Amino acid sequence: MKRIALFLATNLVIIATLTVILSVLGIDRYGSLQGMFVFCLVWGMGGAFISLQMSRFIAKQAMGVRLVDGRTGQPDLDWTYSTIRQLTDRAGLPMPEVGFYESPEVNAFATGPSKSRSLVAVSTGLLRTMSRDEVEGVLAHEVSHIQNGDMVTMTLIQGVVNAFVMFFARVIAGILRNATDERMSGMVYFMIVMVLQMVLGIFGMMIVAWFSRAREFRADAGAGTLAGRGKMIAALQRLQQNTRTIETGHPALATMKISGARSWMALLTTHPPLEDRIAALQNAR
């Protein structure tokens, strides 16, 4: 219920903010194809970037992340903090916020609007299940995401996809309305736009998921450079043994999972199969 409430609150903030922006710009109503495109671009890109700016706060609230400073007196947490410091130093990055959350799942994630305002968090299940070499491989993977600027890249891709989905849904609905001699009521037009957005959105999700899977391979390679390829391979092999502990019941949080469950809807998964990731590292030169 807390995650649902947070999701709804976030979307209300986005809607309110973008409504004000569009009104100020004078494009809250579009009267031309160009105006429609600008309208959709503001909504698509604006929503994605507002979500990015709120990403650390959302992650902390949704996952129950508690920050640490390396002086907790708990060996595993303090070691995690110092290891992330070492990895970010090697990567030439500023120190991110570091946190943990109570969960039996074996997971870690990185998020944040920029390299200087990022967060790396791990589950207690990961710290209990993996050896320190394996955990270092996982942490290096998350630091590599930050180094590659993946959060911003995925936001740009998601924003562009959102904008085009909105735009083409309205264009197609407009063509259908013109084909019926404009006898289509506003409610029917609205319902057609919503259905088209859902259908086109599925294709858009495939595009975003493809880029997401590509970034995972790149982060694995980066982790091999930062921590050693053997540690990253060992971490992925350990994950293979613990995939059942990765919570997959919240699709909206899929990007916060280091591994996605294998699904018959392979084109919509954000993470490649673990065996493919391991093979890519083993075959790398």
Question: What residues are annotated to the active site?
Answer: 142
Residue 67 in 3-state DSSP?
A: strand
Contact 204, 153 (CB under 8 A): no
From CA 107, how far away is CA 123, in angstroms rounded? 6
Question: Which residue is listed with tokens 């570091």?
Answer: 98
- Beta strand 97-101 with 66-68 is antiparallel
Contact 162, 47 (CB under 8 A): yes
From CA 143, how far away is CA 96, in angstroms rounded? 9
Phi then psi for residue 121, to 5 deg, are: -130, 150
Question: Which residue is listed with tokens 């673990």?
Answer: 274
Q: Which residues contact 110 (CB under 8 A, 6 or more apart)?
A: 96, 118, 119, 120, 121, 142, 143, 145, 146, 151
